Structure formats: C-alpha cells, structure tokens
A and B are shown apart, each in its own frame.
Chain A
C-alpha cells in the first residue's frame, strides 16, 4: 500500500508499504529508517521550530524539531534501533524566486537547517538530501530499500 503523508503529519510503515508526500514547496519531507529492522517513517514538515510559536494547540508534527523527535520516538517504540537509524530529506524550496527577504533567509532554508540541527542533536546520520532551489517536489519513500524518489516537473525522477 501507498500512504499519503499530508502537511504536518507523520507515518511509520514496514515493507512493502510506501509513503509519499505530494507537492512540497518550502515544506520538507524527512524519511528516517532502520535498514536492518526494515521499519521507516516519513514526516511532512511545515515550519522550523515549535519554540517560535506562541500559544498551544499546535500539532507537534508540524515542526521540524518536535516532529522529528516524535518520529524517532515512535520508530524506536516500534522496534527500530536508534543507533541504526538513517535519515534522508527533500524539499525546502523558495517557490517564488524573486521573493527573498533582505537577509536571503526563506522559510524553506530555515526548515532545512532546523531538520539538520535536530537530526544532529539526536545523533542520526543524514545520508542523502535534495533541498533548496525553487521547484516543487513530490517524494516517495520505499521502506524496503530506504530509497527516496524525488519528482520534479519537467525533470527525470531522482533517487537518493
């Protein structure tokens, strides 16, 4: 089965299931998996950090920091080994090329940076990534092989 992982959601799966997120712009899709235990998850991140947000009631999986933490926690509870976990990610584009803040900082870039920082703090290897630019991406994550397939319009699929 293929399962869609919508914005601010995460899903854990085992082979032969596949997980996908459609039309990532500034969002980032982060796939984390244990190749030996054959279990993996995908999270569709919208914003960099839950710490920047005032007020409660937000889903933790909307943010890179709290979301990746929760995904890793769920994977370990489902039988993955933290030491074997690997991560791949794609997304973080700036869709409107001309629309840059004076600092050059975009939500996409900040999302990517926060994903990197969170993975590092959890000691998880980021083995491959395809981030930035100004094209939308669709990602398919194959839990069996750990392959992350990236679709961009007008281009050949890319597998990382």
Chain B
C-alpha cells in the first residue's frame, strides 16, 4: 500500500468513505426511526502495532463485528462498539429498556442477532453506495460477531494488513443521533492494492 498519498488521493478516499457512511447512516436512521448524522470520516494510516489501541486499549472489551468484502476490491468492514453503544442499539431496535452497563453482562442470542443484523444492513448500504459510485462490484459475507478484547477482535484485520506491510489504512466513521454517539466506529479496511483500485476507478492515479 502506498504510504505517500497526496492531498487529492486523500480527499477522494475521504469522499468514498463519506458516501459509504452517509448511506449507512440513512439505513440506521430507517432501522431506528430517528435522525442519524455521520461524522466527517477520517482516513488514517495506522501502524499495525498501534491498531489495537484505536478505541482505547487492546484489552478493553468491545462488541466487534466484521464483514468480509470480496470482488473488484477487497478488505473488511468492521464495527467496534463499546458496551453502552451496543446495549443502546439493542434497546432501540427491540424497543425495550436499556440495561445498566457498568458491569460486563451477557448479550442474549437475540441481542447478538440484532447487532449482527445491524452490521449487515449498515455494511450493505455502505458497500452498495461505494459500488455504485465507483462502478466496482463487490460481495459481502455474512456478518461475524465477537465480544472480546479489542486487540483480539481486530487481530484478523491486522494480520491481513500485516501481509503487505506494517501499516493499515482505515476509513473511520462515527454515527450520531443528536449529540449521542450511537455507533462508535465503522471502519473500512481495504486490503492489498484495493485503495489503488478504488482511486483508479475514479480516474485518479
């Protein structure tokens, strides 16, 4: 992966993330029946050894979800939620009161299913938008869920990135309802030369 991106390439990738996350925000808005806005996406080049600390420390327990992307470009779409965010989404989707989340608790099979399906819908919207914008075709896998330490949950993405270098490029977005950060991190992590393919599809590079 090219570590020397110029300003234009950076802006184009940010716009790709913007379009993807914008559609994901609309999908979440429809799912939860409330207005959702997205943050300005960040395009970050992160040393893989520092990736586990992206949402705190490597040992922090998170609800992590992943979708594999394969096709004209490839990579992973990941969601990382802290317990409060995950509990909030479950309560909003199922229309039930939120449990206290000071302590770790178990999510039921139904709760996990809700979280997986949320990622599935958001991922589908995100990728469809990018696919239409770039005219590239991709398929997404079923959503996979893991509730564990952040470092461990991110490990597979780090391993993929590690095959081609010591850095990973992250497209990071956050989704908000009013002032509440509802969806902590939605990452697109392109694999290998997928960034180049995305840029080429738009006539850049």
Contact = CB atoms under 8 A, between A and B. Distances in A.
5 contacts: A7-B51, A22-B58, A22-B59, A47-B163, A153-B149
Interface size range of chain A in the complex: 20 to 34
A95 B153 contact: yes
Contacts of B68: 99
B156 interface: yes
A53 B163 contact: yes
Interface of A: 6-9, 22-27, 46-47, 53, 55, 57-59, 62, 93, 95-99, 107, 134-138, 153-154
**Dominant SS among interface residues on chain B:** mixed
A60 to B, nearest CB: 12
Interface in B2-21: none
A24 B159 contact: no
Interface stretch (B32-40, B85-93, B140-148, B178-186): B140-148
Given A57-B165, A136-B149, A7 B59 contact: no
B193 interface: no
Interface size range of chain B in the complex: 20 to 34
Given A96-B145, A98-B144, A136 B166 contact: no
Name the residue in B58, B59, B152, B164 with the highest tally of chain A Cβ atoms < 10 Å from its Cβ.
B152
B47 to A, nearest CB: 9
Nearest to A46: B162
A22 B159 contact: no
A25 B59 contact: no
A8 B51 CA distance: 12
Pairs of residues from A and B, 10 with the lowest C-beta to C-beta distance, nearest first: A23-B151, A136-B152, A25-B155, A25-B152, A96-B144, A23-B58, A23-B149, A22-B58, A136-B149, A6-B49
Interface string B32-67: 000000000000000011111000011101001010
B162 A47 contact: yes
Interface of B: 48-52, 57-59, 61, 64, 66, 68, 104, 141-142, 144-146, 148-156, 158-159, 162-166
B149 A9 contact: no
B12 to A, nearest CB: 25
Contacts of A53: 163
Nearest to B161: A46
A90 B76 CA distance: 26
A96 B48 contact: no
A95 B142 contact: no
Contact of B154 (A8, A25, A57): A25
Given A6-B49, A7-B48, A25-B151, A46 B146 contact: no
